[in-house]
Amino acid sequence: MSDNKLILVVDDDPDLVESVGMKLESEGYKVAKAYDGVEAEEKIKEEKPALIVLDVMMPRKNGYELCTQLKEASETEDIVVILLTAVADAVSSTSYTHMDGKNTPADDYIAKPIDLDDLMAIIKENLE
Amino acid sequence: MDKEISNVWFKPRVLVVDDEKRIRDGCFKMLSDEGFEVELAETGEIGLNKINDHHFDIILLDLMMPGLSGLEVLPSILDDHPDTVIIVITGYATIEHTIEAMKKGAFDFIPKPFSPDDLRLAIAKALEFIRTLQGIATEKSRMRVLINHLGDGVLATDNKEKIALANPAFIKMMGNKTEDVAENVIGESVENLVEDPKIREMIAEALRSTGRDFPVLSTEFHADDSENVYTATCVPFRDRLDRNLGAITVLHDITAMKKIDQLKSDFVSMVAHEIKSPMNSVLMQLKVVLDELAGPVSDKQKEILERASERIKALANLSSDLLDIAKIESGLIAQEKEMLNIAEILSNQTKFYKESSDDKGVVLNLELNGTLPTIVANKQNIVEVFANLISNAIRYTPKGGTVNVNASTKNEYLVVKVSDTGIGINEEDLQRIFDRFYRAKNEKTRNIAGTGLGLSIVKSILEAHNGMIKVDSTPDRGSVFSAYLPLPV
């Protein structure tokens, strides 16, 4: 039902990546995994995913940077990007402050904590 | 009268200047008997010399003397000793001389001949005057020392916004390094010392206030060239007819408090964050197992995992609330305001909670009275207020009950009332439900989950928007929470 499309899941929390991966596989997708922005870049080059579930707060390269970079390059601009934001967590004067996902050129976003069923619905909608 | 002479706290020094020996001796005897320290001078010249050597509290001065007359001596005494009290002795009743002496600064006069009682009366009056003057001087000195040694900055201005007093702390807080500024600014306009327009406006506002209201204005401000944060409080002072005489501005340094508060907020948000992320991961893992993505799960296992999920969700909610509190305390609340359509927010919220109220068997209604005006507020905050009030109402209302959400305008406010037919709140709990972490604890609430932070967040958000929250409740009948938000002017 999903034509075995490849989805890249990027988050620095391996448990989250595993859970999302298992859910995606159960829905018939192929899954690639990366644990920071730079690793994700390499995986994108190698595997050309159809969609990326991309966390915002990550070491080495954050999700905003990577997303903007992908959308600005002609060979990657068609990859659907879904940001995992923690909008509700913007707290001043700590390293956790960041912008709202809506301000970046992502295709869609979902706020943490993620409900796996909601995430699946968003992914399906964006792959149609 | 006697008590006034004998009950003074100092031994008054009196000089008698008169060319008549009889008068000098008479005064000496009487005043010495009263316990005064008395000196005598038979001419104006001798009198002046004695005055140059010593300060006298009271001088009895004969007007008509050979050589320097009393009228000639009087001004030079007062030039050097303005607080010496001079009583002139008028040898013959020439009213002109007496008037002239009074004009030149004499305190009183005794016409010759006078009795010891006349003298005693004049001296007693003079002493009362000295005592009053000294009282004022003591008070002034006490006030000056007090104000100059206060850690808080104090500024007194008159009703023309001219500086009457500025203590060293105030001068320093205004960014001045040298203390002699304090002397130089007296009588100057406020703007010569105070650059911050907020404080100047506060002083002006205090001075504009009328006798009917007595404003205590306060504001928080940062000094330009430092990290320091101060609160400024300004109050007018008035005369007996309630006319504004001026204003007192007090600055209090709250830098340390702010820093500690910030540290605390940072700490809370860091801890909450470090707890929230792993908990969300655990929730997802439980979900994966529950969905049997990792193999079959028995019904009993499912039941346990579902309970575990609920517990974790409650903890995740607690950490969200802690983060909210940290946000509120760091002043981040209500920063980005926009025009909000309250009707839309309320219908979205009631739609969102429809499922949980249906599940529970509680009817959830929304009534919007007329066209509601848009209000200016922070969307996320306002959504949170109503989400908290509506979800609370559902949680504390048993099956078969009703929750009504009603929005209307009243005076300058938009009023949203969330009423329920729930368990209600006891009198003693009612006082404290807006306190952080406070939860009404009784057999009816035992099984209702909550962090005790929701209502304190609601209150903080509404207050940050210049609104307020009110509650009416009857135990076993239900509660009404009313959220007030100011309409745009």
Residues B15 and B75 in one domain: yes
Question: CA B409, B415, B418 angle in degrees (round to 5)?
Answer: 135
> What range defines the domain where residue B136 resides?
2-145
Mark whether B13 and B28 lie in a shared domain: yes
pLDDT digits (tens, 9 = 90+) for B112-121: 888 888 999 9
Q: With respect to CATH, is domain A6-127 assigned 3.40.50.2300?
A: yes
The alpha-carbon gap from B226 to the nearest alpha carbon of chain A, in Å, equals 19
Please report the pLDDT score of residue B193 as a whole number.
Answer: 84
pLDDT at A87: 52
Candidates A88, A7, A76; CA nearest to B379 is A88
User: Which pLDDT belongs to residue B168?
Assistant: 86
**How many domains does chain B fold into?**
4
**Residue B160 reports pLDDT greater than 70:** yes
Residue B333 has a pLDDT of: 56
The pLDDT tens digits of the residues spanning B1-50 come to 444 444 556 688 999 999 989 999 999 999 998 889 999 999 999 999 99
Residue A93: pLDDT band with limits 50, 70, 90: very low
Interface test with B, best of A11, A12, A19 (most B CBs within 10 A): A19
The whole-number pLDDT of residue B2 equals 44
Indicate if the pLDDT at residue B424 is higher than 70. Answer: yes
- Residue bearing the bigger pLDDT, A6 or B439: A6
Please report, for the domain that includes residue B463, its CATH number. 3.30.565.10
Q: Let me know whether B130 and B14 are in one domain.
A: yes
- How many angstroms separate the CA atoms of A32 and A40, rounded? 9
Q: Within this chain, do residues B351 and B466 fall inside the same structural domain, yes or no? A: yes
- Phi-psi bin for B313: left (phi > 0), alpha (psi -120 to 50), beta? alpha
- Entry pTM: 0.49
On whether both B300 and B393 belong to a single domain, the answer is no
Q: Does A113 contact B316 at a Cβ distance shorter than 8 Å?
A: yes
CA distance B165 to chain A (A): 39
Given this model, what pLDDT does residue B92 score? 66
List residues of A whose CB lies inside 8 A of any B CB: 13, 15-16, 18-20, 22-23, 25-26, 88-94, 96, 112-114, 116
Copy the structure tokens of residue B164: 């009457």
Task: Give the domain-ending residue among B329, B359, B392.
Answer: B329
Average pLDDT rounded to a whole number, residues A103-122: 81
Q: Quick check: A15 and B285 CB within 8 A?
A: yes
Share of chain B above pLDDT 90, in %: 26
Instruction: Say whether both B188 and B305 belong to one domain.
Output: no
| End position of a domain, from candidates B269, B302, B329 | B329
* pLDDT tens per residue, range B193-229: 888 888 888 888 888 887 666 667 777 777 766 778 8
The pLDDT score that the predictor gives to residue A101 is: 40
Interface A:B, Cβ pairs < 8 A: 72
State whether B198 and B312 are in the same domain. no
Lowest-confidence pick of A7-11, A33-37, B139-143, B267-271: B267-271
Res B182 pLDDT > 70 = no
Q: Are residues B139 and B213 both part of a single domain?
A: no
Q: Residue B35 phi/psi, 5° resolution?
A: 95, 15
Same domain for B233 and B354, yes or no, is no
User: Tokens 């008037």 map to which residue?
Assistant: B99
Q: What digits encode the pLDDT tens for the residues A33-80?
A: 999 889 999 999 898 899 999 988 787 887 888 888 888 888 888 888
Long-range contacts of residues B106-115, Cβ cutoff 8 Å, at least 24 apart: B106/B61, B106/B74, B110/B60, B112/B23, B114/B89
Residues of A in contact with B294 (CB under 8 A): 22
Write the residue in A23, A25, A91 that is nearest to B269 by C-beta.
A91
Set of chain B residues whose Cβ sits within 8 Å of the Cβ of A15:
278, 281-282, 284-285
Q: Are B62 and B113 in contact (CB under 8 A)?
A: no
> Same domain, yes or no, for B157 and B131?
no
**Same domain flag for B212 and B288:** no
- Residues B215, B228: one domain? yes
| Contact (CB<8Å) A94/B270 | yes
Q: What is the pLDDT of residues A15-24, one digit of tens each?
A: 999 999 999 9
pLDDT of residue B59: 94
Evaluate if residue B318 carries a pLDDT over 50: yes
Quick one: angle between helices A63-72 and A37-47, nearest 10?
A: 30
Q: What CATH number has the domain bearing residue B177?
A: 3.30.450.20
| Residue located via tokens 């001087």 | B137
Q: What is the pLDDT of residues B325-360, one digit of tens each?
A: 776 766 655 566 778 888 888 988 888 888 888 888
pLDDT of residue B28: 93
Q: Which of B274, B303, B329 is the last residue of a domain?
A: B329
pLDDT band at residue A104 using 50, 70 and 90 as cut-offs:
low
